[in-house]
C-alpha cells in the first residue's frame, strides 16, 4: 500500500521525509516523491523506482530547502508506475500539493467535471482530481476548502495537503485509509503508518474517519466536517520498529489476514454503481462475450485455486463452459483455444513465469486474454487484452491471503458483469449477488473476531503428521486452498479431496488421530458430508468441521465445529477460507516456524 509522511518543525524537511519513507519501504511501492514548502513556493520532486533514486536526485534531501513538507511512496492503482503518476500531485497553479492513499471512486466523473472547468490533467491518477478540487474551491480558507472537497469525493483516502498560502502549516484528513499524527517537541508529523515517525516520537493521535487536522510546528488542531474542534487523547506507542511495521502484529501474514475486509471493500466498491457492476477499464463488449464458446482460467498455486472456485461461479452465473488449468500445464497441452476463447489469467504478482507463458500461448492461438492482477503495471497487466485489478495492496507474506480473497472477489465481479451484459442473470439475482459481495467485509470481520476459537483448535492439533481437507463442489475448491496454506507454512503433509472420492482409495490412509477438516457449507450436500464425516470417524479420524450457522446437528458428528455466517452459496468460499488461513497461521506459529518466509518458497516465481 502507499505510504505517507508529513513534517513541520525546525529541521530541513526533505531528509526527514526521506527517512520516514524509508521506514515504509517494507510495504512495497513503485515510486516516491516529496513536496517541500520553500521560499520560492512548493517544490515537488518525484521519481519512479526505489526511494534511493529519489534520494539521489535531491542529494539526500539537501537540494531542497524548507522546513515543512509531505512525502509519499506509491503503489500504483490508477495509471502505471511512472514519474508523472507518482505523488505529490500539484494543482495547475502550483498552489496545492497533495499526497493520497486510497481510491477516489468517483474520480472519472470529477475529472470530466474539472476538465470542463478548464483544469488540465497531467497524470492518469485518481489523486490528481483532489489537487484540482482544492484549487477550484479555494477562497482563502483551507479548512473550509477541505470540507468542500470531502463533500465531493467518494471512496477511501488519507490525504496530506500543502497550500502555498500557508507557509507554516499543512492540512490532512483520513477516511477508511489509516493516518496518524505524531506529536514532537516543536515539531509535528503525519504518517500512514507508525514506523515512519517512530524514531522521532512515540506520542500519536489515531485519526478517525473524516477528522481534519491542521498542523504547525507547535500545534495540532483537529476538526470534524462541521468545523467543530475535537479533543483527542494521545496514545503512547510501546511497540518496537519491527512490530510497528506489521501494524503491531507478529507477522505480515496475520496482518494481511486481518486486512481482508478492507481489501475486499476496495476491490468491490468502486465497481458497483446504481445497482450494477461497472468495469470501466474493460473493453469486452456484450457481443464479444456472447460469442465466447469457452473460458479457460489459467493460474498457479492459490491463484489456480481461485480458478477452481471460479469455474462453479462463472458457469452458474454466465452459462459458458469453463476449464481451469494450472499455467505450467496449459502451454504444453495443445489447448483448444481460438478467437472465440477467453483465457482468464489470475496472478497477484503479474510476473509469474508460467502464467506469462500461458498468456502468450493463448494469444498465439488467437484467444482473448483477461487478467485478474494485483500488481499494476506488471507484465501480465501490460500484455493482457483486459485487466481487472484486485486492489489488495502489496502482499508481503509469501503465503497469499488477501490477494486470494480479492481474486475471488474479482471473479464474482467479472461473473456478475458477464451475466448482466448477456442477460443470463435476472435483475433480482444481480441485486442479490451485489448485496452478497458488498456485505462480505462485515461477515469476514465477524469471522476474524472469533479467531480465538481457531487458535484453540490449532493448539490441539499442531503436531499432527497429516491433515486432510475434504468438501464437495465449492467446498472442495476451498479445501484445495486450505490444504496448500497448511503445507506451505507448517510443513505438515496435507491433501485436499473431493469428499466423495475418498472411498476410492485415499480412505486407506485414515487411522487413529488423522486430522480431517471437513467443509460442510454447501447446503444441498450437507447430508452427504455428514456421511463422509461418519466414514472417516469410523476409522479413527479427528474431525474439525466448518458449517454454516444454524447447522447444529453437525456437533453430534464432528469433534469441533467452526461456524461461518449465512450467505449466498456462490460467495461462501470467501468466508470458508478465512478460518482455514487462521488455522494454518496458528499451527505454524505454535510450531515456531518462519511464517512469513517459509522454506524453499519465493513470493514471486519468475522462473519456469
Cβ distance to ligand F6R smaller for residue 259 or 557: 259
Cβ distance to ligand F6R smaller for residue 101 or 581: 581
- The least CB distance from residue 267 to ligand F6R, in Å, is 15
Among 352, 369, 571, 584, indicate the residue that binds ligand F6R (CB under 6 A).
Answer: 352
Cβ distance to ligand F6R smaller for residue 71 or 350: 350
Cβ distance to ligand F6R smaller for residue 355 or 494: 355
Among 1, 13, 104, 300, indicate the residue that binds ligand F6R (CB under 6 A).
Answer: 300
- Which of 339, 338, 369, 340 is CA-nearest to residue 355? 369
Among 267, 347, 409, 571, indicate the residue that binds ligand F6R (CB under 6 A).
Answer: 347
Distance in angstroms (rounded) separating the CA atoms of residues 403 and 401: 5
Among 38, 188, 348, 390, indicate the residue that binds ligand F6R (CB under 6 A).
Answer: 348
Taking CB under 6 A as the binding criterion, the range among 73-81, 243-251, 277-285, 345-353 that sits at the site for ligand F6R is: 345-353
Which residues between 465 and 484 bind ligand F6R (CB under 6 A)? 484
Which residues between 353 and 372 bind ligand F6R (CB under 6 A)? 355
Distance in angstroms (rounded) separating the CA atoms of residues 235 and 300: 44
- The least CB distance from residue 482 to ligand F6R, in Å, is 11
Question: 228-265 burial, b for 16+ CB within 10 Å, e for fewer?
Answer: eeeeeeeeebebeeeebbbbeeebbbbbbbbbbbbbbb
Among 182, 301, 393, 394, indicate the residue that binds ligand F6R (CB under 6 A).
Answer: 301
303 binds ligand F6R per the rule CB under 6 A: yes
- Would you call 520 a catalytic residue per the annotation? no
Cβ distance to ligand F6R smaller for residue 156 or 400: 400
Question: Pattern 482-501, binding to ligand F6R, x per CB under 6 A?
Answer: --x---x-------------
- Which of 454, 455, 578, 465 is CA-nearest to residue 514? 465
Cα dihedral sign for 129, 130, 135, 136?
Answer: positive
CA dihedral angle for residue 185, residue 187, residue 190, residue 195, rounded to 10 degrees = -60
Distance in angstroms (rounded) separating the CA atoms of residues 274 and 288: 24
- Would you call 163 a catalytic residue per the annotation? no
Distance in angstroms (rounded) separating the CA atoms of residues 196 and 185: 17
Can you name the residues that pair with 519 across neighbouring β-strands? 546
3-state per-residue secondary structure call for 503-541: HHCHHHHCCCCCEEEEEECCHHHHHHHHHHHHHHHHCCC
Cβ distance to ligand F6R smaller for residue 101 or 406: 406
- The least CB distance from residue 314 to ligand F6R, in Å, is 19
Can you name the residues that pair with 221 across neighbouring β-strands? 214
Q: Which residues, 6+ apart, have CB-to-CB distance to 201 below 8 Å?
A: 182, 183, 184, 189
- The least CB distance from residue 365 to ligand F6R, in Å, is 21
Cα dihedral sign for 42, 48, 51, 55?
Answer: negative
Cβ distance to ligand F6R smaller for residue 191 or 300: 300
Cα–Cα distances in Å, from 365 out to 194, 326, 336, 361?
Answer: 50, 18, 9, 6
- The residue to which cell 475434504 is assigned: 470
Distance in angstroms (rounded) separating the CA atoms of residues 545 and 470: 10
Cβ distance to ligand F6R smaller for residue 84 or 604: 604
Nearest-CB residue for ligand F6R: 301
Distance in angstroms (rounded) separating the CA atoms of residues 575 and 236: 35
Check 432, 460, 528, 603 and give the catalytic one.
603
Taking CB under 6 A as the binding criterion, the range among 298-306, 382-390, 446-454, 537-545 that sits at the site for ligand F6R is: 298-306
Interface with ligand F6R (CB under 6 A), residue total 15
- Which of 4, 146, 10, 174 is CA-nearest to residue 86? 4
Question: Pattern 394-433, binding to ligand F6R, x per CB under 6 A?
Answer: -----xx---------------------------------
Q: Which residues bind ligand F6R (CB under 6 A)?
A: 300-303, 347-349, 352, 355, 399-400, 484, 488, 604-605
> Annotated catalytic sites, by residue?
2, 603
Amino acid at each position: 500500500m502507499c505510504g505517507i509522511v508529513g513534517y513541520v518543525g525546525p529541521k530541513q524537511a526533505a531528509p526527514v521525509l526521506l527517512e520516514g519513507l524509508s521506514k515504509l519501504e517494507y510495504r512495497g511501492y513503485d515510486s516516491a516523491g516529496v513536496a517541500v514548502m520553500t521560499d520560492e513556493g512548493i517544490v515537488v520532486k518525484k521519481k519512479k523506482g526505489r526511494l534511493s533514486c529519489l534520494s539521489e536526485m535531491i542529494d539526500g534531501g539537501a537540494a531542497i530547502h524548507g522546513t515543512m513538507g509531505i512525502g509519499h511512496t506509491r503503489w500504483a492503482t490508477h495509471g502505471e508506475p511512472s514519474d508523472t503518476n507518482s505523488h505529490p500531485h500539484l494543482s495547475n497553479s502550483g498552489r496545492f500539493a497533495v499526497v493520497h492513499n486510497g481510491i477516489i471512486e468517483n474520480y472519472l466523473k470529477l475529472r470530466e467535471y474539472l476538465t470542463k472547468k478548464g483544469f488540465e490533467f497531467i497524470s492518469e491518477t485518481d489523486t490528481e482530481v483532489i489537487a484540482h478540487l482544492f484549487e477550484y474551491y479555494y477562497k482563502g480558507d483551507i479548512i473550509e476548502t477541505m470540507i468542500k472537497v470531502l463533500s465531493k469525493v467518494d471512496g477511501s483516502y488519507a490525504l496530506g495537503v500543502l497550500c502555498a498560502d500557508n507557509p507554516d502549516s499543512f492540512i490532512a484528513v483520513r477516511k477508511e485509509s489509516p493516518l496518524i499524527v505524531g506529536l514532537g517537541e516543536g515539531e509535528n508529523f503525519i504518517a500512514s503508518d507508525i514506523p515512519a515517525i517512530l524514531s522521532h516520537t512515540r506520542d500519536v493521535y489515531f485519526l478517525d474517519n473524516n477528522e481534519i487536522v491542521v498542523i504547525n510546528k507547535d500545534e495540532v488542531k483537529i476538526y470534524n466536517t462541521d468545523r467543530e474542534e475535537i479533543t483527542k487523547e494521545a496514545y503512547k506507542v510501546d511497540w518496537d520498529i519491527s512490530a510497528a511495521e506489521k501494524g503491531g502484529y507478529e507477522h505480515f501474514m496475520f496482518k494481511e489476514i486481518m486486512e481482508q475486509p478492507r481489501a475486499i471493500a476496495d476491490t468491490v466498491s468502486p465497481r458497483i454503481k446504481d445497482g450494477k457492476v461497472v468495469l470501466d477499464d474493460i473493453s469486452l463488449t456484450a457481443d464479444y462475450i456472447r460469442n465466447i464458446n469457452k473460458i479457460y482460467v489459467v493460474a498457479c498455486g492459490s491463484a489456480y485455486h481461485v480458478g477452481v472456485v471460479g469455474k462453479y461461479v462463472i458457469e452458474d452465473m454466465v452459462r459458458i463452459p469453463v476449464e481451469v488449468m494450472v499455467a505450467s500445464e496449459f502451454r504444453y497441452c495443445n489447448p483448444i483455444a481460438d478467437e472465440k476463447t477467453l483465457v482468464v489469467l489470475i496472478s497477484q504478482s503479474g510476473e509469474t513465469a508460467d502464467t506469462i507463458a500461458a498468456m502468450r500461448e493463448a494469444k498465439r492461438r488467437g484467444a482473448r486474454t483477461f487478467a485478474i492482477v494485483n500488481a499494476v503495471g506488471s507484465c501480465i497487466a501490460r500484455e493482457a487484452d483486459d485487466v481487472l485489478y484486485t486492489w489488495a495492496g502489496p502482499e508481503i507474506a509469501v503465503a497469499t491471503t488477501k490477494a486470494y480473497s480479492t481474486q475471488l472477489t474479482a471473479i464474482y465481479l467479472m461473473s456478475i458483469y458477464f451475466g448482466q451484459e448477456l442477460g443470463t442473470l435476472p435483475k433480482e439475482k444481480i441485486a442479490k449477488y451485489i448485496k452478497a459481495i458488498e456485505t462480505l467485509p462485515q461477515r469476514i470481520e465477524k469471522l476474524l473476531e472469533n479467531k480465538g476459537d481457531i487458535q484453540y483448535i490449532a493448539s490441539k492439533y499442531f503436531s499432527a503428521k497429516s491433515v486432510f481437507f475434504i468438501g464437495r463442489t465449492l467446498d472442495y475448491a476451498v479445501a484445495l486452498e486450505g490444504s496448500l496454506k497448511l503445507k506451505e507454512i507448517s510443513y505438515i503433509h496435507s491433501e485436499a479431496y473431493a469428499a466423495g472420492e475418498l472411498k476410492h482409495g485415499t480412505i486407506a490412509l485414515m487411522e487413529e488421530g488423522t486430522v480431517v477438516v471437513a467443509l460442510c457449507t454447501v447446503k444441498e450436500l450437507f447430508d452427504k458430508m455428514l456421511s463422509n464425516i461418519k466414514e472417516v470417524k469410523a476409522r479413527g479420524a479427528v474431525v474439525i468441521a466448518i458449517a454454516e450457522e444454524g447447522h447444529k446437528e453437525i456437533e453430534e458428528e464432528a469433534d469441533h465445529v467452526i461456524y461461518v455466517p449465512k450467505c449466498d452459496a456462490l460467495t461462501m468460499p470467501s468466508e470458508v477460507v478465512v478460518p482455514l488461513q487462521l488455522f494454518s497461521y496458528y499451527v505454524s506459529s505454535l510450531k515456531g516456524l518462519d511464517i512469513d518466509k517459509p522454506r524453499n518458497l519465493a513470493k514471486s516465481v519468475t522462473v519456469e
